[in-house]
A and B are shown apart, each in its own frame.
Chain A
Amino acid sequence: MSGSSSTGKGHPVKGGRTQAMEFSRTRYTARAQRRNKAATFGFYTLGFLVMLLIFWMLFTILAKGLPALSFDFLIKQPEEIDPGGGIGPVLFNSFYILFISLLISVPIGIGAGIYMAEYAPDNAFTGALRICVESLSSVPSIVFGLLGLAIFAEYFDVGLTILGGGVSLALLNLPMLARVTEEAVRAVPGEIREAGYALGMTKFHVIRKVVLPVALSAIITGVCLVAGRAFGESAVIILTAGLSTSGEMWDFNLFSPGETLAVHLWYVQSEAIVEDARQIADKSAAVLVFVVLLINLAFRLPLWFGKRRQGH
């Protein structure tokens, strides 16, 4: 233990160098420090490799598909036999089904989240509700597909439809929406609620005018995450909306078959006989990933800028 001058300089977190000079170098500490350095190097290498893998993956998908992409491809009909088919109706169906599913799941999911955060008393009933939400969020998507199939194809006997796909997808989204809303609402500080109550506001008025505006950006972020996931969901849609389209571009009929882009990627890859199936699959995958990234990022950008303006 010599040279106490450098004791205060380096926090041990920074690494072993300062320590090494301070303490007499026994064989044990030397070995421990060598290992420490090797492990630090190892962790960084691991991180680097994983990041590399992720970016390579994104690059592979986008680079294969995007350069070959034309506007034509995005609006043309898919072809069964001739090459040169597009993805017009399936892309439209993707957005249409996403829209229907959000229309159903967002009000209920946010309502459920607000109940769990604001109203739920701390008792056994709430415990049971919480188990329900957690169990529901663990249900595999294929099971929701079977449920949709049982309800729409068997019970109501309407076959594979856009409506069935949208509703089944909404059921899949519900628990995640409830969870993100609950977290967002819980993160709102209690003082500002109390300020609202002190002004004589009712509970709902406080939620609508005080809590929700504060929690809004977190809720929107959550909804975007859910929407991105729903846009790429395929197992549910295959079972409930089918593997075909009605063959028209702007088909708003809720009871037409509703193949989406994700399902189309599967169909082209596994069953299609057109000779340019590989190119279509590449381009579809690129469009799919691009839209999902867009949903995830674009909706959040204004929020980021908003935050920055407020000086956070």
Chain B
Amino acid sequence: MGSPVHNLTSRAKGNAVAVSASPKRHSRHLLSNTLFRYYFLFSILALCLVLGLVILFIGKTALLLFGQISPLDFFFSFNWTPEEEAFGAAAFIVNTLSLTALTLLIAVPVSVGMAVLCAEIAPKWMKNFIRPVLDLLVGIPSIVYGYLGLTVLLPFLRRASGEGLGDGLLAAALVLALMVLPTICRISDDAIVSVPRKYRDAAYALGSTRLQVIFRVVLPAAKRGIISAVILGMTRAVGETMAVVMVIGNTPQLAKTLFTPSSVLTSNIVMQISNVEFDSTWNYALHMMAFLLLLISFMLILVIRILGRKRREV
């Protein structure tokens, strides 16, 4: 520090340093101020760079596919037998869509019901109990969900349905529903809580019961937030890999029934990627499937943004 410091009493030291050493210290502060501004900017740009890398690396390899087979074959053929050079991904695409739809069909009523319970009905101590427990659920690794599905849910489904194997869309959808439940529930919860109190008061003043207030006033007012929550749940369901792999059966065919062993985009990638050469049509096809996943996620994020913008305007 600056030279005058040595003859000061310890009590005054703190103050004196700030004043006496100020030119040096000041310039140091200015320097760190500038440096760190650039560091923070660099950090956020690094994030964008990562996104660029994702699109570049996956997209580049994916597009090599269409130099080898026609897009029509890839998107509309149900025949996936890589050993015979048949790369039709239609079955995986349809399965992914139907799995997501089935998951939401199970998860949305339950999650929104839980959100209503948390936000409108439950007493305070119960809210303070339910919310952390749901947070806990988010932390459980997806592989553990898959393992539970495999060891607990599948035997149960086998007994309940009389099917031989039990794996397929229904098992995967049940596991996924439990996984997206906290996501949808917490965000819908926030959306419902942020509905202004005066709406409810007005409805109660007209003599509504709580049920009527919930369904005719609160839920319509929180609609956009709840839809955003559902879409966020969708992105999680579409991209989930390990939990699905363990219960869906991993057979490249169209899931015609709830118990047909089948495969979705994510599960097929993770099952096959380690067996293929980097410069093969097979690898390109798998990358194209990953690229599709990427596009679906981006599309869903876009929808959430549009919803969010409209909500702010209203």
> A residues engaging B (CB < 8 A)?
12-13, 15-16, 19, 23, 29, 32-33, 35-36, 39-40, 43-44, 46-47, 50-51, 53-55, 57-58, 60-61, 107-112, 114-116, 118-120, 129, 131-136, 138-147, 149-151, 153-154, 171, 174-175, 178, 201-205, 207, 225, 228-229, 231-235, 238-239, 243, 262-263, 265-266, 269-270, 281, 285, 288-289, 292-293, 295-296
Contacts and interface: CB of A to CB of B under 8 A. Distances in A.
Given A108-B46, A205-B29, A266-B143, A135 B298 contact: yes
B114 A47 contact: yes
B89 interface: no
B43 A111 contact: yes
A216 B53 CA distance: 31
Interface in B26-63: 29-30, 32-33, 36-37, 39-44, 46-48, 50-51, 53-54, 57-58, 61
Given A23-B207, A35-B209, A46-B117, A143 B294 contact: yes
Contacts, number: 258
A129 B51 CA distance: 11
Given A33-B209, A285-B144, A43 B242 contact: no
A118 B40 CA distance: 10
A119 B40 contact: yes
Nearest to B52: A132
Contacts of A58: 136
Contacts of A288: 141, 143-144
Contacts of A143: 54, 58, 239, 290, 293-294
A235 B122 contact: no
A266 B244 CA distance: 12
A262 B178 CA distance: 19
Interface stretch (B8-16, B76-84, B188-196, B269-277): B269-277
Given A47-B130, A234-B142, A112 B305 contact: no
B261 to A, nearest CB: 15
Contacts of B301: 131, 134-135, 138
Given A32-B212, A140-B239, A150-B57, A228 B290 contact: no
B29 A144 contact: no
Contacts of B273: 146, 149, 239
A172 B154 CA distance: 31
Interface in B92-121: 110, 113-114, 116-118, 121
Contacts of A139: 51, 54, 239, 294, 297
Contact of A146 (B43, B136, B290): B290
A54 B136 contact: yes
B295 to A, nearest CB: 11
B21 interface: no
Interface in B222-255: 235, 238-242, 246
A15 B207 contact: no
Contacts of A225: 138-139
Contacts of A110: 43
Give the 7 A-B residue pairs with the shortest CB-CB distance, closest first: A232-B141, A140-B239, A111-B43, A36-B209, A115-B40, A202-B33, A112-B43
